[in-house]
Structure 1
Amino acid sequence: MSSSTFSWLRMAGLALAAVLAAGCASTQSAAPTAASTTAAPAPTAAAPVRVKVFVAAMFEIGQNTGDRAGEFQHWYERYWRSSAPIAVKGALSPVYCNADGVCGAVLGMGKVNSSSSMQAILLDPRFDFSESYYILSGVAGTPPSRGTIGMVSWATWLVDYDLGHRWAPEENTAGAPTFMPRKGYENYRRFQLNPALVGWAVKLSADTPLADDDKARAYRLRYPDAAARRAPFVGTGTHMTGDTFFHGPGLSKQAQYIAKLYGADDYVITEMEAAAITLVINRTHGTSRVMSLRGAVNFDQGNPRETTLAHLDPAPGETAGGFAETVLNIERVGSRVVDHIVVNWPQWRAGVPPMAP
């Protein structure tokens, strides 16, 4: 090895040693002091909203306020005007909550739409539903033998119209039922809602003043049934859930047949969501605090002088009327129950209280 090579290696070694020494010094100077070893506290997550009452609507026509009201607007204007929307992944629309623990949302029309929204909301950790009551609200149809335009009904039973076998009437004995239950759906196809809770709902709301309009009054007179000709009232009965907008006396009779086949009360309301939403709630919290509230905006069949197709596709000016009044009636009736539960929360928190004789 030449002296020049040795000198170069010696100089390189000294340079490397200097770099290493500087690195060690830097590391030592960066070592944490005793004070800095205490970790900063993790940010505290906001406490979940303790939901006392959850109000579900199925659709809104436009905005939540200031235009023609759908199923949600009157609820929104009463409880959530100043509430910020809470977007929920998987739900159709935001949830709104007020300081009293009253929350609500538009879930969407139909069984899949509404139940998937409800599932997403129930599983969102920002809400605590462990003590919640539910009002599933919206417009509906009614058979003229049981109800009238503008009436409001609390469900005693929820029955799924679709879970079974169904075939064409011409492939059957004349006049015989064209529906048969299918085994395996026993726990899904019907729910008896808590009779004590239904009793409270009726007691609190039976005398609610209900709106009506002249067009609805005139329309009712097309039907000979005493129930169809009544002014709006608050009633109870079975709500039939089906994705099909069934119409006509034949399918109305079949809905009544299914209700009786399942041991439920008389069919009084046809709607599209409640049984499916209740199934979702049942899997996480049970059904003892579920209420279904519907207002009738149409009859499920035409009058005796009207064909089913004419009833489905009426001429201009031949519709029932009373829609605006019915959505107002739903909120008027339902809010009586919501407000009572919230004001008397200590008595309701652990469950439906006994009703004084």
Structure 2
Amino acid sequence: MLTRSILSAAAFSLAACATAPSIAQDHQGNDQGNDQGNAAFAETGAQGRPVKVMIITMFGPEGQAWLDRLGPWRDITVPGLSPDYPAVHCNKQDVCVVTTGMGYANASATIMALTFSQRFDLRRTYFLVSGIAGVDPAQGTVGSAAWSKYLVDFSLQWELDAREIPAGWNTGFLGINTKSPNDKPPLDYRTEVFQLNPQLTDAAYALSRNVVLADSAQAQAARAKFTYAPANRPPTVIQCDTSSGNTWFSGTLIGERARQWTKILTDGKGTYCMTAQEDNATYEALKRAASVKRVDLSRVAVLRTGSDFDRPYAGQTSADNLLNYADQGGFAPATENLYRAGNPLVQDIVTHWSEWRDGVPRR
């Protein structure tokens, strides 16, 4: 699956730039924290720098979309961050940007280091995950900006080689400890699916829905090869959900499994549209911090923008779609649209902090 973060490899230097539980809805409260952890935070965390908004990016160009605009910045080095991105950048509005490094391991390690650092007080912080992704042409197009309500881990499945699947199966993927691809698994890992605070997601969407998004001639040409909407239409801000996992895929059949898997894990409530690499790992790290009241999970928003299609157009092979993904021209508008779609939320929070300080305002 893809954070289309690896788009940077061709053009950027990373250094530079039992009973099955229900869907985790940890944003509703964090009463599970132990007293020892809370006491430790009372002694240390409250003395750190307060942050109103922490923007989480995964690689240089995603972060640069924000760093080029909201400065000047003060760099705060935090032990345990990525060696490629060792500092958090904060401005006078108490908006900060952190870059985790790509993939599950980097994302979780960085967010754990960040949230348990004594250098920040993150108890009232809003977290905005801001990254590019592959997009399902049935839900959006290159350049589209999607606010997610569900995060689904595509990689936590059993898998058979598709050439060896039983008769009657349409995929080699199935839930762990199930008998067929259509079964919902017991959520034994407890990271398979997360539900974000819908009030925050709706607020973010309302603030950004009419934003004019960036586009490119190359992206327009790529869209024109699709015969259906919204793939062949200009990008807009939308609401749909993210599938995450370290494997970058391309294909109609595997893309269909991403749709099906999202429906299975969300009990039919979620709609897959973006495929990225880090989000479930990032959220689980935030959840660990929330368990000792260092962060508030009701304040996490996820914005993904489409940099390339997750499957081919009619007449194109899946291999061609994957190997020539950069030809779709979505990288530049996708990185730009992280700022265009995300900044209305950021600015509303910092400008009207008295309304946001104690939680998402009801308007």
Give the TM bin, normalised by the shorter chain: 0.7 to 0.9
CA drift of 1:46 comes to 11
The alignment status of 1:346 with 2:354, answered yes or no, reads yes
| Superposition pairs of residues 215-234 of structure 1, within 5 angstroms | 215-234=218-237
Could you tell me which residue of structure 1 aligns to residue 13 of structure 2?
none
Could you tell me which residue of structure 1 aligns to residue 27 of structure 2?
none
Contact 1:269 / 1:294 at 8 angstroms: preserved in 2? Answer: yes
CA drift of 1:187 comes to 2.3
Query: Is the partner of 1:282 in helix, strand or coil?
Result: helix
Could you tell me which residue of structure 1 aligns to residue 212 of structure 2?
209
The alignment status of 1:50 with 2:55, answered yes or no, reads no
Contact 2:47 / 2:118 at 8 angstroms: preserved in 1? Answer: no
Equivalent in 238, 255, 275 of residue 270 of structure 1:
275
| Superposition pairs of residues 92-241 of structure 1, within 5 angstroms | 92=82, 93=85, 94-172=87-165, 173-182=167-176, 183-185=186-188, 187-241=190-244
Query: Is the partner of 2:298 in helix, strand or coil?
Result: coil
Could you tell me which residue of structure 2 aligns to residue 16 of structure 1?
none
The alignment status of 1:82 with 2:72, answered yes or no, reads yes
CA drift of 1:321 comes to 0.6
| Superposition pairs of residues 197-346 of structure 1, within 5 angstroms | 197-262=200-265, 263=267, 264-285=269-290, 286-314=296-324, 319-346=327-354
**Separation (CA, whole Å) in 2 of partners of 1:123 and 1:190:** 24
So what's the TM-score if we normalise by structure 2?
A: 0.79
Could you tell me which residue of structure 2 aligns to residue 38 of structure 1?
none
After superposition, the Cα gap between the structure-2 partners of 1:221 and 1:174, relative to the gap in structure 1 and judged at 3 Å, is: farther
**Separation (CA, whole Å) in 2 of partners of 1:109 and 1:205:** 26
CA drift of 1:181 comes to 2.2
| Superposition pairs of residues 10-29 of structure 1, within 5 angstroms | none
Query: Is the partner of 1:319 in helix, strand or coil?
Result: helix
**Separation (CA, whole Å) in 1 of partners of 2:223 and 2:175:** 34
In the alignment, structure 1 segments of 5+ residues that lack a partner are: 1-44, 61-69
CA drift of 1:288 comes to 1.1
Q: Which deviates more from structure 2 when the two are superposed, residues 180-189 or residues 195-204?
A: 180-189
CA drift of 1:83 comes to 1.8
Of structures 1 and 2, the larger Rg is shown by 1
The residue type equivalent to 2:88 in the other structure is V
After superposition, the Cα gap between the structure-2 partners of 1:99 and 1:223, relative to the gap in structure 1 and judged at 3 Å, is: same
The residue type equivalent to 1:223 in the other structure is F
Query: Is the partner of 1:288 in helix, strand or coil?
Result: helix
Instruction: Show CA shifts across 1:283-322 (max 9, x none).
Output: 222521111101101000111111111212239xx71013
Structure 1 stretches of 4+ with a deviation exceeding 2 A read 173-187
In the alignment, structure 2 segments of 5+ residues that lack a partner are: 1-44, 177-185, 291-295
So what's the TM-score if we normalise by structure 1?
A: 0.80
**Separation (CA, whole Å) in 1 of partners of 2:108 and 2:189:** 19
**Separation (CA, whole Å) in 2 of partners of 1:322 and 1:247:** 16
**Separation (CA, whole Å) in 1 of partners of 2:188 and 2:104:** 16
Query: Is the partner of 2:146 in helix, strand or coil?
Result: strand
**Separation (CA, whole Å) in 2 of partners of 1:221 and 1:83:** 41
Q: Which deviates more from structure 2 when the two are superposed, residues 161-170 or residues 48-57?
A: 161-170
How many residues are paired up? 300
**Separation (CA, whole Å) in 1 of partners of 2:320 and 2:218:** 18
**Separation (CA, whole Å) in 2 of partners of 1:176 and 1:217:** 33
Could you tell me which residue of structure 1 aligns to residue 15 of structure 2?
none
Could you tell me which residue of structure 2 aligns to residue 73 of structure 1?
64
Contact 2:305 / 2:337 at 8 angstroms: preserved in 1? Answer: yes
**Separation (CA, whole Å) in 2 of partners of 1:345 and 1:294:** 25
After superposition, the Cα gap between the structure-2 partners of 1:177 and 1:314, relative to the gap in structure 1 and judged at 3 Å, is: closer
CA RMSD between the two structures: 1.9
**Separation (CA, whole Å) in 1 of partners of 2:205 and 2:46:** 37
Contact 1:163 / 1:185 at 8 angstroms: preserved in 2? Answer: no
CA drift of 1:155 comes to 0.6
Choose between structure 1 and 2 for higher RCO, CA contacts under 8 A separated by at least 6 residues: 2
After superposition, the Cα gap between the structure-2 partners of 1:48 and 1:328, relative to the gap in structure 1 and judged at 3 Å, is: same
